[in-house]
Amino acid sequence: MSLNQTRNKLVDFLGSPFTLLDNRGDKLFLIVFCGIFATFFINFYQPLNINTWNHDSTVGNFLTIWTAGIIGAIVLSITQFILRPLVNLNTFNIGWFALWVLFEFFLIALLMFILYGESAFPIWKEFLLVFRYTISLTIIPYFLACLIIAVRKLSHPIKEALVIPKSIPVPIPKSPLPLAQHAFKDENGKIMLAIKPTQLLLLKSENNYTAVFFLQNEQVDKKLIRTNLKKLESELSEFPYLLRIHRSYMVNLEKIASVQRKKGSFQIQLTQLPEMPLKVSETYKAIFEAQIKS
């Protein structure tokens, strides 16, 4: 295998979607599992001589052992539920996931260093020591939690019942809905999914893939297809209720629960995906506004 082929395979691998931590339930499981696992593991086994980190203070030893896991859980809560939406990382690829995990470990180490670091050593040496300890103590529960989530998803495909937000629905124009199924094909022409267009909720561009959110047995399911959104938009142009609203989104107008005007644009909420507010970009604003006014 040539160097270019190896590099291309590596780039494709790092660009592959990583969806284990996409929904709220999986994020909560990661946080709770890491917090409980780390707390009891540190308390009972005292790895890396953690009981000596604050050897000058009995209270310090107690707090270090019993709060290390809690500190980790707090940091993970902030990174998963606050920072990820702020930087628009609702879905990872493998490369971004690896960098994000390293960033989370860095934040945990920084907080541990501020709370329990000693001043006897040069600061950078002390921080590197705490960072190394943090990775050693955190990596096991973090990836064990991801493994459990992956096994659960393989055993039981994700079809989560989502709560409908309490909002006033905006009437969307009805249109004749064809009953025939539409075949979604990947870039090689292989059929990956066949469903009625009326079951579609959202098409979301994710790097080299498009995530298809749809209803199956009254529950939300998701399928990643290696194709681009522009191609799917062209294929679905005969269905007027499927509308492109953003460079990354195409929605089913029949599934919109509410529309809010924010900062001169629109933010929409789908009935079955209340945790995923979608912004209408400036490019598609006029078309969307004409649809909801008609």
Question: What per-residue confidence (pLDDT) applies to 212?
Answer: 95
Question: What per-residue confidence (pLDDT) applies to 70?
Answer: 83
Tell me which DSSP letter residue 247 carries.
S
pTM: predicted TM-score of the whole model, two decimal places: 0.52
Residues 13 and 149 in one domain: yes
CA dihedral (9, 14, 20, 24) positive or negative? negative
Question: What per-residue confidence (pLDDT) applies to 221?
Answer: 92
The verdict on residue 281 lying in a domain is yes
Question: What per-residue confidence (pLDDT) applies to 22?
Answer: 82
The verdict on residue 161 lying in a domain is no
Question: What per-residue confidence (pLDDT) applies to 51?
Answer: 52
The verdict on residue 242 lying in a domain is yes
139, 155, 171 - which closes a domain: 155
Question: What per-residue confidence (pLDDT) applies to 214?
Answer: 94
Residues 220 and 98 in one domain: no
Question: What per-residue confidence (pLDDT) applies to 178?
Answer: 47
Nearest by Cα to 255 from 215, 212, 205, 195? 215
Question: What per-residue confidence (pLDDT) applies to 152?
Answer: 83
DSSP 5-51: HHHHHHHHHHTSEE-TT-SHHHHHHHHHHHHHHHHHHHHHH-GGGGG
Q: Give the CATH number, domain containing residue 256.
A: 2.40.50.1020
Question: What per-residue confidence (pLDDT) applies to 190?
Answer: 92
**SS3 call for 189:** coil
Residues 146 and 190 in one domain: no
Sequential pLDDT tens for the chain (294 residues): 577 777 777 877 777 778 788 888 889 999 999 888 877 776 665 554 555 555 444 444 544 555 777 888 899 999 999 998 888 777 788 888 999 999 999 998 888 778 766 665 678 887 888 788 788 878 888 999 999 988 887 765 444 433 444 444 555 554 444 457 889 999 888 999 999 999 999 999 988 899 999 998 889 999 999 999 999 999 998 888 899 999 999 999 999 998 888 777 888 999 899 888 899 988 888 888 888 776
* CB neighbour list of residue 31: distance below 8 Å, 6 or more residues apart: 73, 76, 77, 80
The verdict on residue 172 lying in a domain is no
The verdict on residue 177 lying in a domain is no
Residues 148 and 220 in one domain: no
155, 172, 207 - which closes a domain: 155
Residues 201 and 123 in one domain: no
The verdict on residue 123 lying in a domain is yes
Residues 66 and 188 in one domain: no
Q: Which domain holds residue 274?
A: 182-293
Question: What per-residue confidence (pLDDT) applies to 165?
Answer: 44
The verdict on residue 241 lying in a domain is yes
Split into its structural domains, the chain has a count of 2
